[in-house]
Amino acid sequence: MNIPGLLGSLPLWIYIVDALLVAGIIAALIWSFISRSIFKRRLEKAAVDEEAARHLVLEKYDTGALIRRSRMIEAGADKYGDGLLKNLGISRIWVELVRRRKRVSDIRRVLKFIPEEGLFYVFLAVLDKPRKTRYLTDWLKESGDLLAMRRIALSGKGEDFDGRKALEIFGEYISHIREMTGDPEWASRYFAVKILLHHDDERSQRAVWDCLHDTHALVRRTVATELKTDREDKFFEALKSLFTGDPVFEVRRAAKERINLDFADREVLDVKKLSEVQAFHVLDLMNPEFAQDENTALSFLDNDNKELRLSAAFFLSRLGTLDRLFQQVDLGDRELLDRNFKLLTKAAEVGITGFMKAVSSNSNPATLLIAARLLQKTGSRELINSLARAVFSFSDEEKTHSDKKRLYEETLKAIKLRGTCDAVQLICEELERQSHKTAFLNRILPSLPESGDFLVAPLLVRMLKDPDVPERDLVRETLLRFDECFYQGEIIAILKAEREEYPHQVRIDALKLLAQLKKPYCLQHVLENLAILPLDEARYFTTILADFSGDLFNKRVEGILESDDAHVRASLIAALPATGIKEFVAPIRKALKDADPEVRIAAVWALHDYQEQRALNSTVEMLRDPVERVRVQVARALGSHGTETVLDRLKELLFDENEVSTVKKAAIAGLSFSETRGSVDVLVEKLRDMTGELKDEVIRALAEKHDARSLTRMIEVFKDAEPKIREAMSEAFKRMRSRGEESLVSLLDEDIPSLLPLIYNILEETGWVESIIRRLAKRDPKERREAAALLARIGTRAAFRGIVLAARDPDEDVRVEVTKALEYLNTPEGAEILSDLENDPDKRVRKYTLWALERIKARNLD
């Protein structure tokens, strides 16, 4: 072959490529030489300076580069000493190579340079690659160290290894290994027991049994897990002791698992005999796969010991039992509901509340009820939001009349006690929906949380401005629970607004609220607007003002009493007696001569309320006041005052032939308001004295006297009165209508024999008896029973006429009342009534009377 010719025929680019390759190889060799030289120089510096090792080597070469230069580092260590290895921290990398690659070069390197750090991992590599055992055994023999096996153990950190393989390889060192069970270092004891577990020698087994009480948990756990023995009873008792008494969880768990594995058919323990610590350990290792463990945990969930209860609750939570107790309930099964609630409460008391997360996706009312009750004290407050959304979505009927009523109330309570801002917003929305419903307001308003003041107070003010909102007192009381900064300005604005802007009721409530705040700096606002309130409420709130503002109140009142506005002054004068402050009597007496009639009326009643008798007696002259309503109110005040002096003065005016009729009418009005017996006598005397003048006024006055004392006197007078007077008084009784009839019926209870016939007679004349008989036809049995009982008490012929008609009433209690009454007809006293009934024009009355009497006779025969 003509090689030169062949070469000469090749293209030029091939020569160029070859030249470049050769140049690259030469450059690589040169760079390799240079980099090796540089690395060697850096190793020299690193051997004596830890800082240089970091800057020159560790920061410039990654782990892979250092591994590739391991031979150079070895050479450097031979040349410069072990300080180089320490400064570079290469031991960790070399040990990791043994663990990962298990190469002979790596094993030799570790054995030569860093045996203290890597012996155990060489040991593990040998167990995994038995063909390389000789490198370790040769090193052991060459070291001449009697404690070489101990050095292996101490270079490890308790890693697991195959003790049986170790025994096969290092069996010649068994005596040394057995001695290691008494070593003070736990790693040495662990290493020894891992091997001795597979050595059948009695001494080795004894050492293993002793290790059940080793001071290190890993040693005890290893024996509990790996010991194979034919001494089952002893081992079972040892495992029970570890399971219930060992303070380390991993040891107890290993003992429990070993019992479950090899002694599942044995009764492990009696929980009732366990100490608190033992019970804690048992609960700490409940197994979800064993039904008896769930029952045991449930029994401890009701335990007073919270430490045990926590363990039981934690296990039951992981098992899902608490979720089941929470969700599998029914409002119809109250016993189950109460039981589950009690158990879940016990869990919640120790902080186990994860089961309540189901509130977000569960619509079961019974589940929601449990949640509502629990969330009042514990659990995530965010869950209250989900609870509120679910419960507020119920219909109004469900919220008030079904089993969900209690759920609704408990939810409101949860929001009040622990609700978030979102929950407060939800209850505000619910309140706005129900703001015109009394039943809901009485439940929601007391449940509004103070923490939500910035949301709640504005809503309550809007409700106060709506006159159609009921329960206004409760709305005000609720507002008072919140800081006045949220509403005081708006309340004052209502009082200062034009009259047409707000209804009168709204203005009344605004004034009440301002007074209830009891702020001295609001005193003038309240006093000047007192006329807005009804008199009784004005008195009440005036008392409040006087109590909290003291001398300032007196000063401001004096100023208003000297002011021009009659309406404001009259309202204040009428309210002042409630304070009991006598200093105001003098200006009030002065007001009796005021130009405004309302002020004069207020002054009269104020003196009446102050019980200023002398001053009040002097007001008799005001019966001649030019304004009728003043005369009427003066007469009323004088009449209700009721002293003998006043009565004599009224009588004098009434019988004065020279007095005008307007004054006499005022005197009659005064007598009508008096509850004294003497006032009745004066009016009756006037009836005898007059021919026709003022007669109707007197009858009307007597008709107003339906108090017990006046009625008693009127009946006494009626008894012996002449026909003309009886006729007038009968008219008065009729005009009393229901108010007088109720008073007459109540007089029956006093059982005054001389008055009873007269009361019966009056009640018949007024038509009351007939109205009661009509009630016997009512659908409601309760009304019919009450009617029958009332007729039985009256016992007149008219009453019995109604009673016999009820003899066949379908209600047994009505028939009982009839029977009791009809028994009276079988007596001598009832003979006359019986005769009348048997001859009654109404055939049905005659028939029922005979039938009822036959029934009574038959009953008596029985």
**What CATH number is attached to the domain comprising 174?**
1.25.10.10
> Is residue 467 a contact partner of residue 503, using CB atoms and an 8 Å limit?
yes
CA 47 from chain centre, in angstroms, equals 73
Query: Is 225 among the domain residues?
Result: yes
Q: pLDDT-based confidence at 410, cuts 50/70/90?
A: very high
Distance CA 372, CA 356 (A): 10
Distance CA 371, CA 376 (A): 9
Distance (Å) of CA 712 to CA 91, 509, 681: 120, 43, 12
Lowest mean pLDDT among 110-119, 280-289, 620-629, 760-769: 760-769
Distance CA 394, CA 440 (A): 13
- Mean pLDDT of all residues in 624-647: 78
Domain with 230 in it: 147-268
Residue 778: closest CA among 737, 741, 757, 806: 806
Residue 102 has pLDDT above 70, yes or no: yes
162: tokens are 């195959």
The residues, any chain, with a CB within 8 Å of residue 474's CB and separated by 6 or more, are 441, 442, 445, 446
- Mean pLDDT of all residues in 528-554: 82
Q: What pLDDT does 76 receive?
A: 77
Q: pLDDT-based confidence at 390, cuts 50/70/90?
A: very high
Q: What pLDDT does 855 receive?
A: 61
Question: 519 by DSSP, 3-state: which?
Answer: coil
Question: 335 by DSSP, 3-state: which?
Answer: helix
The predicted-structure confidence for 696-726, as pLDDT tens digits, reads as follows 887 787 777 777 777 778 777 777 778 887 7
Residues 727-734: contacts with CB under 8 Å, at least 24 apart: 728/687, 728/695, 728/698, 728/699, 728/702, 729/684, 729/702, 730/762, 730/765, 731/699, 731/703, 732/699, 732/700, 732/702, 732/703, 733/703, 733/762, 733/765, 733/766, 734/765, 734/766, 734/767
> Is residue 420 a contact partner of residue 389, using CB atoms and an 8 Å limit?
no
Q: pLDDT-based confidence at 152, cuts 50/70/90?
A: confident
Specify the number of domains making up the chain. Answer: 2
- Mean pLDDT of all residues in 131-160: 80
The predicted-structure confidence for 324-347, as pLDDT tens digits, reads as follows 999 999 988 999 999 999 999 999
Distance (Å) of CA 289 to CA 295, 317, 323: 12, 14, 17
Question: 357 by DSSP, 3-state: which?
Answer: helix
Residue 830 has pLDDT above 70, yes or no: no
Residue 266: closest CA among 287, 288, 242, 239: 239
Distance (Å) of CA 839 to CA 827, 835, 843: 18, 6, 9
Where does a domain end: 221, 243, 268? Answer: 268
Query: Is 548 among the domain residues?
Result: no
Query: Is 806 among the domain residues?
Result: yes
Where does a domain end: 244, 268, 292? Answer: 268
Q: What pLDDT does 455 receive?
A: 92
Q: pLDDT-based confidence at 784, cuts 50/70/90?
A: confident
Q: At what angle do helices 186-196 and 202-210 cross, to 10 degrees?
A: 130
Where does a domain end: 229, 245, 268? Answer: 268
Q: pLDDT-based confidence at 95, cuts 50/70/90?
A: confident
Q: pLDDT-based confidence at 563, cuts 50/70/90?
A: confident
Q: pLDDT-based confidence at 356, cuts 50/70/90?
A: very high
CA 84 from chain centre, in angstroms, equals 71
Query: Is 658 among the domain residues?
Result: no
562: tokens are 């000297």
> Is residue 147 a contact partner of residue 207, using CB atoms and an 8 Å limit?
no
Q: pLDDT-based confidence at 861, cuts 50/70/90?
A: very low
Q: What pLDDT does 279 receive?
A: 79
> Is residue 542 a contact partner of residue 579, using CB atoms and an 8 Å limit?
yes
Q: What pLDDT does 692 receive?
A: 58
Residue 832 has pLDDT above 60, yes or no: no
The residues, any chain, with a CB within 8 Å of residue 106's CB and separated by 6 or more, are 94, 97, 98
- Select the more confidently predicted residue: 657 or 411: 411
Distance (Å) of CA 175 to CA 105, 112, 190, 203, 850: 31, 26, 15, 10, 124
Residue 815 has pLDDT above 70, yes or no: no
- Mean pLDDT of all residues in 47-70: 77
Query: Is 789 among the domain residues?
Result: yes
The angle at the Cα of 63, spanning 59 to 65, to the nearest 5 degrees, equals 85
Q: pLDDT-based confidence at 531, cuts 50/70/90?
A: confident
Distance CA 426, CA 416 (A): 12
Query: Is 457 among the domain residues?
Result: no
The predicted-structure confidence for 444-462, as pLDDT tens digits, reads as follows 999 999 988 999 999 999 9
CATH code of the domain containing 810: 1.25.10
- How many percent of the chain have pLDDT more than 70? 83
Say what the alpha-carbon torsion angle 691, 697, 702, 704 is, to the nearest 10 degrees: 170
Residue 157 has pLDDT above 90, yes or no: no
Tally of residues, the chain: 862
The residues, any chain, with a CB within 8 Å of residue 772's CB and separated by 6 or more, are 787, 790, 791, 799, 802
Largest CA distance in the chain: 178
| Mean pLDDT, the chain, integer | 81
Distance (Å) of CA 372 to CA 310, 446, 514, 531, 645: 22, 17, 36, 47, 68
Q: pLDDT-based confidence at 693, cuts 50/70/90?
A: low
The DSSP element (H or E) to which 756 belongs, if any, is helix 756-765
Q: pLDDT-based confidence at 802, cuts 50/70/90?
A: low
Query: Is 87 among the domain residues?
Result: no
- How many percent of the chain have pLDDT more than 90? 26
Distance CA 566, CA 570 (A): 6
Query: Is 415 among the domain residues?
Result: no
The predicted-structure confidence for 165-200, as pLDDT tens digits, reads as follows 989 888 888 988 999 999 999 999 999 999 999 999
Buried b (16+ CB within 10 A) or exposed e, 683-693: bbbbbeeeeee
The whole-model pTM stands at 0.59
Lowest mean pLDDT among 473-477, 528-532, 544-548, 653-657: 653-657
Q: What pLDDT does 369 receive?
A: 93
Residue 401 has pLDDT above 50, yes or no: yes
> Is residue 640 a contact partner of residue 612, using CB atoms and an 8 Å limit?
no
Residue 2 has pLDDT above 60, yes or no: no
DSSP string for 76-128: HHHHH-THHHHHHTHHHHHHHHHHHH--HHHHHHHHHH-HHHHHHHHHHHHHH
Residue 826 has pLDDT above 60, yes or no: no
